[in-house]
Copies of this chain bind each other. A is one copy, B any other.
C-alpha cells in the first residue's frame, strides 16, 4: 500500500516523471547507523527536550489543564512538537521498530494527541502562543505569527501518522484546523486575504489533499502559493524579500531572503504543480533552483550566507567562517530537490540531494544523536573562542536551542529517509538514485542492494522480484564520464550495448529481469581536488578535498603538533591518499595530504604589507589528515577548514 509509505505521495493522477518507490528499506551502512541512533536516542529524548523546554507546558496552558507562566520567546514552539510527532509517526511505520519501542512511542503519541485535542478550540484553531500569550492578536500578525506555519507542521505530522499507522485521531485534529484555515482565508466577502510570513502550509495542504481527496485543500495550497509576492506582508525588519513577498514565485528571477522560507515555498509550488499540472510553477521552481545552485550554494550544499536574517547572500558570497547554512535549510533543500527529481526525472536533482544529505545536512547532528548544530560553517578560524558570539548560533553542536526548529526537523528527515532514496518510473521500472544497503521496489521490480557506499564505490544489486522493465542507476556528476564500470550478471555493460544506455547522469538497464540477476556498479572514489567558482572571493586561491559524495575537512585535532590551520597550505603537486587508519569518531576513510604550515613572518605593527614583500608561510611540508566534513567537531572544539589555500610552487 503506497499510502502507508512516507511523505510526498502524489495521487495517481499527479504529474511527475518519477514516483516514490513502493517499498524502501534501509538495512545498514552509514544511513542505517544514523537512523538507528535517531530511533534509539534522538526521537525518544526529543520528548524529554520538548518537555524541558516547556512546549507541552504551553499546550497544557492552552488546554486549560496546566498552570504557571506562559513562554513567550518564539510564537512557533508548537511546530517543534509537530515535527517530533511526524518523526515518531515515521518510526512507527518503520519495520525495524520493535513492538516494545512501538508501544512506548504509541503511548507518547496518545498523550500528545490528547493534549492537542484538549487545546484545540471549538472552531478548530490551535496555536498555544496565540491562545495563551496573545489571544487578542490571532490572525492579526501573519508576518511573524507562524500560525499557518504551525498548522502546516500539524498537518504533516497527521499525514505521517495516518500513512504510517492508519490511525486518524491526529488527522482529525489537523483537518479541523485546516477547515478553519479554509474558512478564514481566501479572496472575497468576509475572507481574510493573507499569507503566512513563513511558507510551510502549502506543501502540507497538498499532502492533506492526497490523504483526504478533498480538492479544497489543494485549492487552498495554490491560493497561498499564488498570493505570495503581492505585498500582503509588511517590509518588516528584513524587507519583503525576506519572506519572498516582493514578486510572485512565477515571476521571481532569483532566490531571495530567508533560505528556509524560500525553499519551503518552492517545495509547495512543485507539489501544487504535481497535483494541478500548472507547469508555470514547475518552470519557476527549476529556474530558481538553478540560480541558487549556480551562485548561492556552498560546496556542502549548505544554503544561506548571512547570520543576521538567515538569508541567501549576494551571488558568490561564500564566507566559510560565517556560512550560516542552517541545518533546516539543508533539510528544506532535500525537500525541494527530491520533489524536482520526481517531477522531472533529471539526475542533477538526485546529485544535489546526495550532496546535501551527506554534507550540509548530516553535519547538523552528532554521532550521539543528542547534539545538533543550527549553523554549519565551513571553517572555524584559529583564535575563535566558543561562546564568544552567543547571539549567533555557535559553530559547535549543542543539545537544544531556544529556537529549536532544527533538531526535530533532523529527526523527521532521518525517520522518513528511506522513501527519498529510490523511485519508480512511469513504465514500471525502478530508479536507484541514492546508494545504501537495503531493499527497494517500484513497479514490478524489487531489489536488494549491498554496498559500503559512500566509503567504498561498489554497489551490488540483486533482483528479487522481476519483470521486463528498466533498472536505472545514477552515475553521480562527480564521477565523470570514465569513472564508473558496471556489469550485469558479470557481463560488462557499455553505453549503447544491449539494453544499456547512459542518459544525462543515468545508467538505464532495460531487459527481462529474472530473480537472482545481479548488477554491479563500481564508482571510482579516489580523493579529488575541487576548485571554487572564480567569483567566490572568500575561496580564492584554495581547493577543497572531496571523495565520492563526501566533502572533507581538516581539524585542529588532525594536527597534534599545534599547527595553526590558517597557515596551512596544500601542496597540490603531491598525491592525496585514502587512509583507513584514523582515530576520529565515525571516520571509516580519512584522506592524507601534504602541505606546509609555517607561520607567516611578521614585520611591524601594520598587517598589510606592500605587495610582493612576501610573508607567505614557508614550504617545509608534512603530511596531515582530512576527515569527512559531516564528522567534524566530534573530538574537540578547535579550528577547522574545508577550503585549503594552495602552496605556491
By a beta-carbon cutoff of 8 Å, the part of chain A in contact with chain B is 235-239, 241-242, 254, 256-257, 290, 293-295, 297, 299, 306-309, 311, 313-317, 319-322, 348, 351, 379, 381-385, 387-392, 477, 528-535, 537-544, 564, 566-567, 572, 600, 602, 604-613, 615-617, 643, 645
Name the distance in Å between A159's Cβ and chain B's nearest Cβ.
31
Q: Min CB distance, A243 to chain B, in Å?
A: 12
| Other-chain residue from B315, B533, B534, B600 in contact with A533 (beta carbon distance below 8 A) | B600
Q: Is the CB of B606 within 8 A of A389?
A: no
Residues of the B chain whose Cβ atoms lie less than 8 Å from the Cβ of A238: 389-391
Given A530-B610, A537-B566, check contact A605 B390 (CB 8 Å).
no
Q: Which of B388, B529, B539, B608 contacts A256 (CB 8 A)?
A: B388
Residue of B nearest to A545 (CB): B611
Q: Which 9 A-B pairs have the closest CB atoms?
A: A529-B611, A239-B390, A238-B391, A314-B381, A315-B383, A540-B541, A541-B541, A534-B600, A535-B566
> Do A293 and B613 form a contact, CB below 8 Å, given A235-B390, A238-B391?
no
> Which residue of the partner chain, among B306, B309, B532, B604, contacts A477 with CB atoms under 8 Å?
B604
Interchain CA distance A481-B307 in the complex, whole Å: 44
CA distance A241 to B530 in the complex (A): 37
- What is the interface of chain A mostly: helix, strand, loop, or mixed? loop
Query: Please, how many angstroms separate the alpha-carbon atoms of A564 and B295 in the complex?
Result: 14
Q: Distance (Å) between the CB of A165 and the closest chain B CB? A: 39
**Min C-beta distance of A288 to chain B, whole Å:** 13
CB within 8 Å for A540 and B540 given contacts A235-B390, A311-B389: yes
Q: Which residues of chain B are within 8 angstroms of A615 by Cβ–Cβ distance?
A: 531, 533-534
Q: Which residues of B contact A311 (CB under 8 A)?
A: 389
| Chain B residue with the shortest CB-CB distance to A615 | B534
From residue A358, how far is it (CB to closest CB) to chain B in Å? 15
Given contacts A307-B306, A530-B611, A532-B608, contact A387 B239 (CB under 8 A): yes
Q: Are A293 and B534 in contact (CB under 8 A)?
A: no
Nearest B residue to A380, CB-CB: B314
Contact A538 B537 (CB under 8 A): yes
Which B residues are in CB contact (< 8 Å) with A294? Answer: 602, 605, 607
Q: Please, how many angstroms separate the alpha-carbon atoms of A388 and B542 in the complex?
A: 29
**Chain B contacts of A313 at CB under 8 A?**
321-322
Residues on B with C-beta less than 8 A from A293 are: 605-607
Contact A351 B388, beta carbon cutoff 8 Å: no
Cα–Cα distance between A544 and B531 once the two chains are bound (Å): 24
Question: In whole angstroms, what is the CA distance A392 to B241 when docked?
Answer: 13
Contact status of A320 and B537, CB under 8 A, knowing A295-B607, A391-B237 = yes
10 A-B residue pairs with Cβ-Cβ distance under 8 Å, sorted by A, are: A236-B391, A239-B388, A241-B385, A294-B602, A295-B607, A306-B392, A314-B382, A315-B381, A320-B537, A351-B606
Closest residue of chain B to A540 (Cβ to Cβ) is: B541
Check A316 against B566 for contact (C-beta < 8 Å).
yes
B540 touches A389 (CB 8 A): no
Of A242, A387, A537, A600, most buried by chain B (CB within 10 Å of CB) is A537
- Nearest to A385 among chain B residues (CB) is B241
* Contact of A610 with B537 in the complex, beta carbons under 8 Å: no
**Selected contact of A538 from candidates B239, B387, B538, B608, CB within 8 Å:** B538
